A and B are shown apart, each in its own frame.
Chain A
């Protein structure tokens, strides 16, 4: 790969979120949620929505940039981009695409967004209720392997088997998210703390995932506004700069019927080196991490594949005290993340990384200067961004 880098060229100007709801409980239509988050991100930045000239989304978002442009009265749309891949693997890739467009001069003010109203459009965690099934799923669904949790559990079982990682490591990851959610009034699980006992006694969904190892399903919307580093000097908020951004996956990661080259993997092992090269930092420089929890086992592998922990140290490292904002070695998912804040396909985790660098988190890590936010473990493609404060440039 070349020495070209996005480092320091693009900054986050604004972030916006709607109220986060339990699945199916949004009083607003999905498109309205999207509009509200975009307008909120513009207000946060002090930039008029009319100045947006680029739209990026991911996960097959249904809210088309052309309709958004028309609804908002956008003067000219210079970018409309969709990151490939289902699930939340694109929650950082969407920002990577927007940032690249700004650096290339294609657009000046790019909004990256995701809106979800499952009440309006149906659920994720259910198997297909059809008489016949074709294609790859014909080789899995008849055996009762149908839901996302079931698609990923065997990767985690194999990874834990190879490295001798115990269930308590997954429990610590879940508890870190729930711990942080208790200080975050936006979090859907605010006021619902998790104890070791409650975790241990919770029902299995599919081993090794208890109920509390699985993300929620939510309604809401989130948006992030990107501008050039030059433009960022004039915005209302303290800018968070993109130091590195990468997406992708390794050898035959999506090979059919569980035949990927590196099976027990979050799919970050080829992605992370590009990220650190661009950012010109090492894993030890990360002050706070926001790692997409579709399932805790994915977080475990993501952190290891980003070099934040060695596999042989996992049982010691993945303990609650190490993962909390209040003095932990590496504070993790400080908003409550997808498990306990909201499952906005991971865009909320990107926003929390930015909030940490502004000093605005409800679980603020002291003097946080570099934040890593990873998206979509175990799917393909996956994506990560490293953000830094102005001091890190």
Chain B
């Protein structure tokens, strides 16, 4: 599968404090892994050191269903990075995960970038691998079910 956006955008690297390492390890294995509180069982995203619901410090990383729902989107036209100079329009989606307390994740919608984007539509994750010499990573993209 070709990547959705051209090479040359900044590559995501784990934080120096290691907070988000399990997420990036999960995506490399094509698993969707996010934080879950062992005390109140609530999921949260993005990663933080404390549960925003019950303030427990005991957070685990839990695999969640690779299914979501389009909560919002934007169609980008103006390139703000040299790597996107010849890209044309592309779509960023904000996807909520009903199986994980409706936390939201940002990705691209793998579809015709000029087609209507249906808010509320169901989507499933597609793992986009970016192998590299120094750093390999995998992006989570979305396609309509």
Contact = CB atoms under 8 A, between A and B. Distances in A.
A142 B12 contact: yes
Interface string A137-161: 1111111111101100111011001
B72 A154 contact: yes
Interface in A241-292: 252, 255-259, 263-264
B76 A161 contact: no
Nearest to B128: A142
A128 interface: yes
Given A143-B92, A143-B139, A157 B73 contact: yes
B104 interface: yes
A24 to B, nearest CB: 17
A134 B15 contact: yes
A257 B75 CA distance: 18
Interface stretch (A44-52, A204-212, A352-360): A204-212
Interface string B25-55: 0000000000000000000111110001000
B80 A258 contact: no
A127 B81 contact: yes
A131 interface: yes
B71 interface: yes
Interface residues of A, number: 44
B114 to A, nearest CB: 11
Interface string B74-106: 111110111010010010101000000001111
B5 A143 contact: yes
A141 B80 CA distance: 11
Given A142-B10, A142-B139, A154-B73, A129 B103 contact: no
Contact of B12 (A129, A139, A153, A255): A139
Contacts of A259: 44-46, 103-104
A29 interface: no
A204 B78 contact: yes
A149 B92 CA distance: 13
Interface string A173-207: 00000000000000000000000000000011111
Contact of B80 (A125, A135, A143): A125
Nearest to A148: B80
A129 B73 contact: no
B20 A206 contact: no
A207 to B, nearest CB: 4
A298 to B, nearest CB: 14
A263 B72 contact: yes
B14 interface: yes
B81 A158 contact: no
Given A138-B20, A158-B119, A144 B108 contact: yes
B49 to A, nearest CB: 12
A149 B77 CA distance: 11
Nearest to A138: B12
A132 interface: yes
Nearest to B19: A135
B74 A153 contact: yes
Contacts of B76: 144-145, 150, 206
A256 B77 contact: no
A134 B17 CA distance: 10
A258 B46 CA distance: 9
B115 to A, nearest CB: 13
A252 to B, nearest CB: 6
Given A130-B10, A131-B10, A259-B46, A154 B92 contact: yes
B135 interface: yes
7 contacts: A133-B10, A144-B5, A149-B78, A154-B72, A252-B52, A256-B45, A256-B47
Interface of B: 5, 9-16, 20, 44-48, 52, 71-78, 80-82, 84, 87, 90, 92, 94, 103-108, 119, 135, 139
Query: What are the 10 A-B residue pairs with the smallest beta carbon separation, nearest first?
Result: A138-B12, A256-B46, A133-B10, A127-B81, A153-B74, A158-B72, A204-B77, A154-B72, A257-B46, A132-B13
Interface of A: 125-147, 149-150, 153-155, 157-158, 161, 203-207, 252, 255-259, 263-264
